[in-house]
Structure 1
Amino acid sequence: MSANPKPHDLLWGMTTDQLPADVPAWAQQALAAGHPVVVRRALCEPGRVAVGIRGTRRDQRFAATMPIHSIQRALSPEQLRPRAAADFPALRALETVAPILAATGLPWGPTGSVGFQLATGIAVLHQASDLDLILRTPDFFDRQHARALLAALADAPCRIDLQLETPNGAVALREWAGEARRVLLKCAEGARLVDNPWLVLERAA
């Protein structure tokens, strides 16, 4: 399968024999059970994609790389939407904010525990789970609009962590809506402070 995976995409097809020798038992069990891995932001050699394996507990996270040719199925956050029987605050929050994000006209979707549970049906959510979201912003998203969006999301039933996905990496909506001149941009090369996350040639001083 040909693919161009993006951060937060869920991928199926990684096998236990592709794991390093020091992998924890729970990660082996997750892959053996057919669980997907999630694309993470990191550099790796050509023909491979950086991924993370998650277990059922919050502290069960393992970083690895996956051969691109092994990908059998890919699911992006924007392909996931709220479903009926939203038993957790995070799922109720997703239903609440869906029309707000749809009104931006930009691609968006849930990531983290909510995205994983919606994609797989595996119960990883609990009553205190946050709602992690991405909003794909290929063009400049000014700070005034960021503040308005942050305010519109403030009444959700749980804490929301929304990342603006720029062509150069991701920046937290909460941070871009703040007053600091420089914000933290997360990219494959690492994290750096920038004035404008949408400027390709921006570099930290």
Structure 2
Amino acid sequence: MDDQSAIPHGDPFLLFEVWFGEAKASEPNDPNAMALATATPEGRPSVRMVLLKEHGREIGEHGGFIFYTNGESRKGSEIHANMHAALLFHWKSLRRQVRIEGPLREVSEARADAYFHSRPLVSQIGSAASDQSRPLPDRRIYLDRVAALEARYEGKDTIPRPPHWTGFMLEPRRIEFWLDRPNRLHDRREFVRTEDGGWDNVLLYP
């Protein structure tokens, strides 16, 4: 039966790839920007913007979405204490959203090394010099750390990845696609992972 939805059935990873490709063509800045929501074991939530760096159904056992961060930051500490999170993409130019929820797992050291060393040297140094999320009495302290590492690794293309700097993969259990419609009669389709690794999907009221 025709449900008159503009959001198709099928593999949500393939649909995400289509929408993401269109966002890369239309968004003026950072189409891979996503809100990452985490929570403490007591259920206190926090959210911030991060960048999606890898994604696809071929990643891990069931596919996933990967981002990188300082594992000793606030989000890193919350992730280690509660290995579940939610992601939200909002592509304003397309009037679309994608919500993704599921458990997290840390990526391998080899994968973290490969991504860390793919970054510009100044970005590697900036990450290594930062005690992310912790109090900074004076910005000059951070800039002096950066300068010291720049001098130490002058002429190098890479620096050692700090052991606490790592990546996490969200393995989706639930993915919702949201499409703006006139008069707030929005179109929503939710995909839920089944026990056999497939996907059930249903339309949702806006």
State the TM-score bracket (shorter-chain normalisation).
under 0.3
The structure that is strand-richer by fraction is: 2
TM-score of the aligned structures, taking structure 1 as reference length: 0.28
Structure scoring higher RCO (CA < 8 A, sep ≥ 6) equals 2
